Structure 1
Amino acid sequence: MITSFFNKSKPVNFVIVFLITLLAFIVAKTHMGYDAITGGFLFKQVLLLLVAYSSILLLNFVVGKNSLSKKNHYELLLFSLFFLTIVETTNQAEVLLANFFVLLALRRLLSVRSQRELKKKYFDAAFWIAVASLFYFWAILFFVLILASLVLYSDNNIRHWVVPFLGVTSVFVISVAASVIFYGGFFNVFDLSLQVDFDFSKYNSTKFLIAITLLLSFGLWSLFFYVRNIKQKKKSNRATLKTVVLAVVIGFVIVLLTPNKNGSEFLFLFAPLSVVVSNYIESISEKWFREVFLGVLIIVPFALLML
């Protein structure tokens, strides 16, 4: 029943996903315990909510445009449920913006399979990843996706290898100019902190442990089948699917490395993991198991609200 409802593209699905995302924002802000809610605060939260929802819609566009799954809205639902699972992902404006720009880069990168306007696509992807790193430094790791794409498509054109670095250089030059104009220094706009932190004690709470266990267990289980099924896909689609897998790995690496482990870092996992898990749900032949699998992913985030 649950899977059949989201198995087809319906306008009501977008409303449900928006309400789940909105609930995640409300819960997160309630837990932060603000003394006074000002107009400026509300305006900022509305903008961030729009960024979060735009990220979900952007993922839906990328999935549909590149045939990453069948025509359904599982990835929409999963992305919003992941927001509700770890509501802390809605608290950091920098992370929300960085993730949105990473998705813009992913959109351009996955379209490389058409083998058209490659220089423009590689430049755009590098440009958006560089912009994302201005908001959250470790987002720069997604630059690896561009290099991996060049390898996966066996691109021996030297100009295509140079173009991504030009994209990053463009952002650097523009940022330096803005820094001089607005801050009076060359590098004031940059976050040059290369600190890493492997202290995971901040996750040592019942709510975090359940949420992380849900993401990792369901994610890894789905990823195993996703990787195994890549060989069964058309050869033209394999590079795209491998890019999604690498995006999951990079998102996980960011979680491991980031020095500010407050939960928001898991946001970089949400988009690629939504694609992987939705593909697994589509592949489940037993209807009862498919219902239970998706049912758990729906029930647990709402149950965590009680903790």
Structure 2
Amino acid sequence: MIASVFKKSTPLNYALVVFLVLFFFFIYQFQDLSWISSVVGLLKKGLTFIVVLASIFLTSFIGKRNGLTKDSGYTAVFYLLFSLFFPSIFNNLNILLANFFILLALRRLISLQSMKASKEKIFDASLWIFVASLFHFWCILFLILVFISIIFHVSRDYTNWVLPFIAFIAVAIFFTFFTSFFGINTIDYLQKSTQINLAIDYFTNLTQNLAFSIYVSVALFFVFSMFITLSHRLSMTQTSYKKIVASFFIGVFVFVLSANKSSDFLLLTTAPLAILASAHIEYSQTKFKQEIVFIAVLLCSLFLFVSQL
């Protein structure tokens, strides 16, 4: 019964999602109210909320626009529920912005399926990925997805292989101008940004360990579900699903490589996982299975969110 509420995409469902995002976002912010006394703090929290909301609806748009999900509210809700596993992301504007730009890139790469304006889409996607890497350097690994998309669709045109490098030059020029204008030491910035830490020892308490373990279990369930059912899905969407899965694993690699490691970096896996979860629940033949999966994710997310307040 709960899952059926989001079975159709309606204005009421969108309003409910906005309310839920607003509710959980500000519940977490009330732990530290120092930002209220500062105009800069208020503006930063407002921008953070807008980026969170925009990312949710952009993910939902990517799924529906490319036939990966049906016209439902599942993707938006799953994105929010997975975000609640690690609510500290609501205070990390850098990773939220990086994730938003990666979503803009993913939107362009998935739409390559139509074979229209391929060069523009490859250039745009590469540009957004390089912009995302300015907020978190290892997002640059998502360029792998660009080259995967080129192989899938337009590998015969050699100019498509050059476009990511042109995008790199454009962003590099902007970055050089920006650092020069504000007097930022480019070498120090790059040295700090490109550090690698392969150790996963940042967990400081039982709740973080539990959240990570449950998230990994849930993610593996939906990823393997897609592997099992992929051959039975529409042939025109199979390549797109492969790119979604690839995006998820690239997000995992970014998390593994990142220095100053925290669960916030797992946000880069949230959007593809939300699409995979929606595809799974919509593919289920019985309402009972849909309800079980949806309620299980809902209860886990609420429990972990409350535990980390």
| Fold in common (TM above 0.5) | yes
Q: Structure 2: any 5+ residue segments left out of the alignment?
A: none
| Counterpart Cα distance in 2 of 1:186 and 1:204 | 33
Partner SS state of residue 236, structure 1: helix
- Number of positions where the alignment pairs a residue of Structure 1 with one of Structure 2: 307
Letter in 2 for 1:170: A
Partner SS state of residue 202, structure 1: coil
- 1:192 and 1:246, CA in 2 relative to 1: closer, same or farther beyond 3 A? same
Given the two structures, how large is their TM-score scaled by the length of structure 1?
0.93
Query: How far off is 1:129 after superposition?
Result: 0.3
Q: Which residue does 2:220 correspond to in 1?
A: 220
| Counterpart Cα distance in 1 of 2:168 and 2:119 | 14
CA contact (8 A) 2:36 2:42 kept: no
Q: Which residue does 1:30 correspond to in 2?
A: 30
Q: Which residue does 1:141 correspond to in 2?
A: 141
| Counterpart Cα distance in 1 of 2:221 and 2:184 | 51
Q: Which residue does 2:54 correspond to in 1?
A: 54
Q: In terms of mean alpha carbon deviation, does 131-140 or 78-87 score higher?
A: 78-87
CA contact (8 A) 1:126 1:167 kept: yes
* Backbone CA RMSD of aligned residues: 2.0
CA contact (8 A) 1:88 1:262 kept: no
Q: Which residue does 1:179 correspond to in 2?
A: 179
Given the two structures, how large is their TM-score scaled by the length of structure 2?
0.92
Q: Which residue does 2:156 correspond to in 1?
A: 156
Residues 164-206 of structure 1: CA deviation (Å, up to 9, x unaligned) = 2111221111211222233276667756532222332322423
Q: Percent identity?
A: 29
Q: Which residue does 1:41 correspond to in 2?
A: 41
Letter in 2 for 1:124: D
Q: Which residue does 1:258 correspond to in 2?
A: 258
Residues 253-296 of structure 1: CA deviation (Å, up to 9, x unaligned) = 11211112222101101100001111111122232232121012
| Counterpart Cα distance in 1 of 2:241 and 2:184 | 45
| Counterpart Cα distance in 1 of 2:250 and 2:265 | 11
| Counterpart Cα distance in 1 of 2:299 and 2:48 | 25
Query: How far off is 1:298 after superposition?
Result: 1.2
Partner SS state of residue 183, structure 1: coil
Q: Which residue does 1:283 correspond to in 2?
A: 283
- 1:32 and 1:196, CA in 2 relative to 1: closer, same or farther beyond 3 A? farther
**1:7-22 mapped onto 2 (5 Å cutoff):** 7-22=7-22
Partner SS state of residue 84, structure 2: helix
Q: Which residue does 1:245 correspond to in 2?
A: 245
Q: State yes or no: 1:125 paired with 2:136.
A: no
| Counterpart Cα distance in 2 of 1:137 and 1:28 | 27
Q: Structure 1: any 5+ residue segments left out of the alignment?
A: none
Q: Which residue does 1:200 correspond to in 2?
A: 200
CA contact (8 A) 2:98 2:136 kept: yes
Letter in 2 for 1:227: F
Letter in 1 for 2:17: V
| Counterpart Cα distance in 1 of 2:207 and 2:220 | 20
Partner SS state of residue 37, structure 2: coil
| Counterpart Cα distance in 1 of 2:270 and 2:138 | 16
| Counterpart Cα distance in 2 of 1:184 and 1:98 | 20
Q: State yes or no: 1:93 paired with 2:98.
A: no
Q: State yes or no: 1:229 paired with 2:233.
A: no
| Counterpart Cα distance in 2 of 1:208 and 1:200 | 12
Query: How far off is 1:33 after superposition?
Result: 6.5
